[in-house]
Amino acid sequence: MINVVLVNPEIPNNTGNIVRTCAATGAVLHVIEPCGFSWEDKYLKRSGLDYWEIADVKRYPDMDAFLKANFGDKARSGATEGLAVRATAEVADTQMFFASTKSAQNFTHVKYDKDCFIFFGRETKGLPEELLHENYNRCVRIPMRAEARSLNLANSVAIIIYEYLRQHDFDGLKEQGKLTQY
């Protein structure tokens, strides 16, 4: 399954929309705090609608807690967060990608393993540059016009989730709908 990792999200509406997308697609959402909002925020709840009940959302106080919770004794600590993540990915033999406008690699040019983690940064700054530097060969970018700074976080998550799903033939998803009045 695809694991979406939000690192320090700031806008409750975006996180709520991402909860809904993850719930609808079966993706697991991991949120590394601190966040720029309260988990009781009405905009967060409203954006997630009634999908909170079917969403798999996990929260962590920091990156170290995320690594330990998901990789157990394979989790590594390092002098920097970026080194810790890279070392954990290597030891755990787990595919991790980092979505960033600073990447040179198109997100459609990688093959996503069935179980992988995709990291997304905060709305105003993206992922920490040190994290990107230590994992640059695993950074991916959604193409856009040169004049554009970035896409909305919730949209970026949805775009990459659906590329992952396309590569895995939309496994487990309902692909056909039907008219209700005809």
**Residues 140, 119: contact at Cβ < 8 Å?**
no
In a domain, 156, yes or no: yes
Tally the domains of the chain. Answer: 1
Question: Domain containing 154: what range?
Answer: 2-167
Residue-level pLDDT at 33? 96
In a domain, 172, yes or no: no
Q: Which residues of 29-42 are buried (b: 16+ CB within 10 A; e: fewer)?
A: bbbbbebebeeebe
Nearest C-alpha neighbor of 129 from the set 7, 23, 11: 7
Nearest C-alpha neighbor of 1 from the set 56, 42, 75: 56
Residue-level pLDDT at 52? 83
> CA of 90: how far to CAs of 2, 71, 95, 120, in Å?
18, 11, 8, 20
In a domain, 40, yes or no: yes
Token pair 């993706």 is found at: 27
> CA of 150: how far to CAs of 11, 28, 47, 82, 142, in Å?
15, 24, 21, 22, 9
In a domain, 173, yes or no: no
Tell me the pairing of strands 56-60 and 28-32. Answer: parallel
Give per-residue pLDDT as tens, 21-75. Answer: 999 999 999 999 999 988 886 766 666 567 788 899 999 999 999 999 999 999 9
Nearest C-alpha neighbor of 142 from the set 97, 177, 80: 97
Residue-level pLDDT at 80? 87
Q: The domain spanning residue 92 has which CATH number?
A: 3.40.1280.10
In a domain, 99, yes or no: yes
In a domain, 181, yes or no: no
pLDDT at 82 over 80: yes
In a domain, 107, yes or no: yes
Task: Give the integer Cα–Cα distance in Å for 127 and 147.
Answer: 20
Give per-residue pLDDT as tens, 96-148. Answer: 999 999 999 999 999 999 999 999 999 999 999 999 999 999 999 999 999 99
* Residue 79 pLDDT grade (very low, low, confident, very high; cuts 50, 70, 90): confident
* Residue 77 pLDDT grade (very low, low, confident, very high; cuts 50, 70, 90): confident
Look at the chain and count its residues.
182
In a domain, 175, yes or no: no
Residue-level pLDDT at 48? 59
Which residues are bridge partners to 106 per DSSP? 141
If you compute the radius of gyration of the chain from its CA atoms, what whole number of angstroms results? 16
Give per-residue pLDDT as tens, 146-160. Answer: 999 999 999 999 999
